[in-house]
Structure 1
Amino acid sequence: MLSRTLLCLAITSASTPLLADTVWLKNGDKLTGTIKVFDGGKLLLNTKYAGDIPLDWKEVKTLESDQHLLVKQDAYNGEISKSLHAADDGKVTLANGDAPKTVELASIQQIMKPKPVVTDLVWKGNVDAALDFQRADKDTDDYNIAFKTSATHGRWRHNAEGEFNRETQDEDTTIDNWKAEYSIDRFITDKWFWDGRFTYKHDNIEDLRRQRTVGTGPGYQFWDDELGAFKVGTLLNRTDFEYSNGEKDNFYSVSGTWDYNRYLIGKKVEFFTNGELGKPISGVADYSLDTEIGLRYKVTEWASLNVKAEKNVISGSDDGDLDKTRYTAGFGVAW
């Protein structure tokens, strides 16, 4: 009896095909793997033989999948399909029980795995850490931790980032500051959005102890997909200063922002840059610049190595000019 059971199990296992998604291309090629996401004109297919492969959506003839996938035919609304079935050239069938629906591939704007609560939630981010210990005439310990994350659903995008810096020389603290920023974007069209943000900076060493900035203005998203993103914006800001002696000051300014990242070499390497260039309205300074540029190298699916350069410039200030450049190298995690 046991041998019969084992034989039946063996036959069943041998006859059951391995679940895999299939993509047929217009040139006749057939690829199997796991569909991760379709966005920005690229279908990302994960394969055992080549990792993640980005496929041009215009070159896809049809596809099939046994996954539950959220299929969006516009930027904000979609339906969860229990599976995808291959159809005629340039089409795919969404299987939902007794009511399958065949749609044009050209009408699909996004495909992703549905999330438990907010089905179209896309959450991504990274945490970078850099440590530097020098032992010489002066012992120097340097710590830098930074994070950046965004969550998108429907017409809303939430962004948060922060950074902590601390440096000690022979047990004397020479750098001790942190900053945090939160912004929320409301998309008016597929590309145009309105940005509102709040930034707080705190320094335990410098004369300028606290800095609070509230800003709002329009922005434009050039692209945002699995291979990278690029957005620019314009802000009208109010900034409040508080000094170590208790004095306070405030001013208004206009600024331009940018945020760009691009994945290279099969998503192994990420190039990124972001920053803000501002001009005070009241004339307290000529201009200010706060920017960073860097590279990340993915060691595993979640771990990475990074190198960054950060530059902070204030020109024409009544309190004197500022021009600081900081280089860091370290490790991090990304999702």
Structure 2
Amino acid sequence: MLSRTLLCLAVAAAPLTSLADTVWLKNGDRLTGKIKLYDGGRLVLATDYAGEVTLTGDKIATLQTEQNLLVKHDEDATGEHSKGLKAAEPGKVTLVNGAEETVPLASIEQIVPPRPLLQDWVWKGQVDFSVDHTMAENDVEDYDVDFKTNARHGMWRHNLQGEYNREKKDDSVSVNNYSAEYALDRFFDEHWFWQGKAEYKRDWVEDLEKKRTVGTGPGYQFWDNELGAFSLATLVNRNDYDFVGGEKDHFYSASVKWDYNRYLLAKQFEIFTNGEVGKPLSSKVDYEVESEAGIRYKLTSWAALSLKGEWDRLSAEDGGVNQRRYTLGIGVGW
């Protein structure tokens, strides 16, 4: 009874007009900041005094925020929108959505602040580094650097990604290439967008020396929030290929791009995959696949250990590519 009385007094003393979110702990402590997400039994609170703080759900007494939130219960697959949360008795929280409803914290599976469509510039990205040098019967050097970033403002999103790979075994270079891609998305609403892209790839080992592609087409953003993002785009492309033997090929193709990432356990882990599958409309090229998938483990608020697999496949009459790579490295995210 004493702890409940103290909690109620603390709630009453808190300024209702404060923009800071408040988390009361069961040990009596109170933390202020901004609720980023609640997932996997963990709450991520962004503070100006300690960065992002992760709290386990069994330590939380109650919450308060004026943010618009998507709250998902254990038995609810879609979730419900709430205009905020009010503090309640320990172990419970009140959802503010017209008629207020007090629910146990243990019944909540996820709390995600929705990302507004019109907002100031939002920039996020990831750079992964991998270096391997093995000295044994064979001397192997392996380098891999790739980056991916996008910047969003209002109805426009800029996407930029690139990669450099080099592998040397004794005196023979088995992998040596780089690629870069820029894509611009114009959103029509929260989900639908139109994309235009340009891509260039240079390889000094495989049969396909140079690849230049420009494409355009519609896309659909299934979701984009603090828990991750998932989008698909269908494109019509103009492709120009230069092969080692001097052969050239230019053709049109249709392709499907995907981009998926999902954070788990309050962003402690991240699983991701992205790539593109293309089918020429008429060409000596049969099909092409460029894909990657992996997992990242968060070491600090900005650094992560990454394990990634890549598969590039090109089937063509004048030569082809069938390359698989697996890398373990350190990444920097923002």
Please give the TM-score of this superposition, normalised by the length of structure 1.
Answer: 0.70
Provide the residue aligned with 2:330 in structure 1.
331
Cα distance in 2 for partners of 1:90, 1:173 equals 62
Alignment of 1:14-29 (within 5 A): 21-23=20-22
When residues 111 and 51 of structure 1 are mapped into structure 2, their CA distance, relative to the original with a 3 A threshold, is farther
Work out whether 1:289 is the aligned partner of 2:295.
no
Q: Is the Cα–Cα contact under 8 Å of residues 122 and 153 in structure 1 kept in the other structure?
A: yes
Cα distance in 1 for partners of 2:221, 2:189 equals 10
Q: Is the Cα–Cα contact under 8 Å of residues 36 and 46 in structure 2 kept in the other structure?
A: no
- SS of 2:290's partner is strand
Provide the residue aligned with 1:63 in structure 2.
65
Provide the residue aligned with 1:51 in structure 2.
53
Cα distance in 2 for partners of 1:175, 1:259 equals 25
Work out whether 1:310 is the aligned partner of 2:310.
yes
- SS of 1:279's partner is strand
State the Cα distance separating 1:246 from its structure 2 match.
Answer: 4.4
Cα distance in 2 for partners of 1:49, 1:202 equals 41
State the Cα distance separating 1:62 from its structure 2 match.
Answer: 5.8
Q: Is the Cα–Cα contact under 8 Å of residues 61 and 89 in structure 1 kept in the other structure?
A: no
When residues 170 and 323 of structure 1 are mapped into structure 2, their CA distance, relative to the original with a 3 A threshold, is closer
Provide the residue aligned with 2:243 in structure 1.
243
Q: Is the Cα–Cα contact under 8 Å of residues 45 and 52 in structure 2 kept in the other structure?
A: no
State the Cα distance separating 1:131 from its structure 2 match.
Answer: 1.1
Find the partner of 1:90 among 88, 93, 96.
96
Q: Is the Cα–Cα contact under 8 Å of residues 311 and 325 in structure 1 kept in the other structure?
A: yes
When residues 320 and 176 of structure 1 are mapped into structure 2, their CA distance, relative to the original with a 3 A threshold, is closer
Q: Is the Cα–Cα contact under 8 Å of residues 37 and 110 in structure 1 kept in the other structure?
A: no
When residues 290 and 111 of structure 1 are mapped into structure 2, their CA distance, relative to the original with a 3 A threshold, is closer
State the Cα distance separating 1:109 from its structure 2 match.
Answer: 5.4
Provide the residue aligned with 2:226 in structure 1.
226
What per-residue deviation string (whole Å, max 9, x for no partner) do you get for residues 231-290 of structure 1?
A: 001000011112345443211100011100000011110000111111110042332211
Alignment of 1:149-164 (within 5 A): 149-164=149-164
Cα distance in 1 for partners of 2:297, 2:181 equals 25
State the Cα distance separating 1:31 from its structure 2 match.
Answer: 6.8
Q: Is the Cα–Cα contact under 8 Å of residues 197 and 215 in structure 2 kept in the other structure?
A: yes
Q: Greater relative contact order (Cα 8 A, min sep 6): structure 1 or 2?
A: 2
State the Cα distance separating 1:190 from its structure 2 match.
Answer: 1.1
State the Cα distance separating 1:21 from its structure 2 match.
Answer: 2.4
What per-residue deviation string (whole Å, max 9, x for no partner) do you get for residues 115-143 of structure 1?
A: xxx96111111000111111123211010
Residue 90 of structure 1 aligns to which amino acid in structure 2? V
Please give the TM-score of this superposition, normalised by the length of structure 2.
Answer: 0.70
Residue 312 of structure 1 aligns to which amino acid in structure 2? D
Cα distance in 2 for partners of 1:89, 1:328 equals 45
Work out whether 1:255 is the aligned partner of 2:261.
no
- Which segments of 5 or more consecutive residues in structure 2 lack a partner in the other structure? 1-14, 38-42, 69-83, 87-93, 98-112
What per-residue deviation string (whole Å, max 9, x for no partner) do you get for residues 74-105 of structure 1?
A: xxxxxxxxxx9x9x9838xxxxxxxxxxxxxx
Cα distance in 1 for partners of 2:134, 2:64 equals 58
Cα distance in 2 for partners of 1:178, 1:283 equals 24
Q: Is the Cα–Cα contact under 8 Å of residues 208 and 319 in structure 2 kept in the other structure?
A: no
Provide the residue aligned with 2:190 in structure 1.
190
What per-residue deviation string (whole Å, max 9, x for no partner) do you get for residues 277-320 of structure 1?
A: 111100423322111110000100011101011112234x2135
When residues 54 and 281 of structure 1 are mapped into structure 2, their CA distance, relative to the original with a 3 A threshold, is farther
Provide the residue aligned with 1:168 in structure 2.
168
Kindly report the root-mean-square deviation, in angstroms, between the aligned alpha carbons of the 2 structures: 3.8
Cα distance in 1 for partners of 2:164, 2:20 equals 43
- Which segments of 5 or more consecutive residues in structure 1 lack a partner in the other structure? 1-16, 66-70, 72-83, 92-107, 113-117
When residues 333 and 35 of structure 1 are mapped into structure 2, their CA distance, relative to the original with a 3 A threshold, is same
When residues 220 and 89 of structure 1 are mapped into structure 2, their CA distance, relative to the original with a 3 A threshold, is closer
Q: Is the Cα–Cα contact under 8 Å of residues 20 and 33 in structure 1 kept in the other structure?
A: no
Provide the residue aligned with 1:80 in structure 2.
none
Q: Is the Cα–Cα contact under 8 Å of residues 44 and 53 in structure 2 kept in the other structure?
A: no
Provide the residue aligned with 2:277 in structure 1.
277
State the Cα distance separating 1:329 from its structure 2 match.
Answer: 0.7
Query: How many pairs align?
Result: 270
State the Cα distance separating 1:22 from its structure 2 match.
Answer: 3.0
Cα distance in 2 for partners of 1:174, 1:61 equals 56
Q: Is the Cα–Cα contact under 8 Å of residues 206 and 321 in structure 2 kept in the other structure?
A: no
Cα distance in 1 for partners of 2:129, 2:263 equals 20
State the Cα distance separating 1:151 from its structure 2 match.
Answer: 0.5
Work out whether 1:137 is the aligned partner of 2:137.
yes
- SS of 1:205's partner is coil
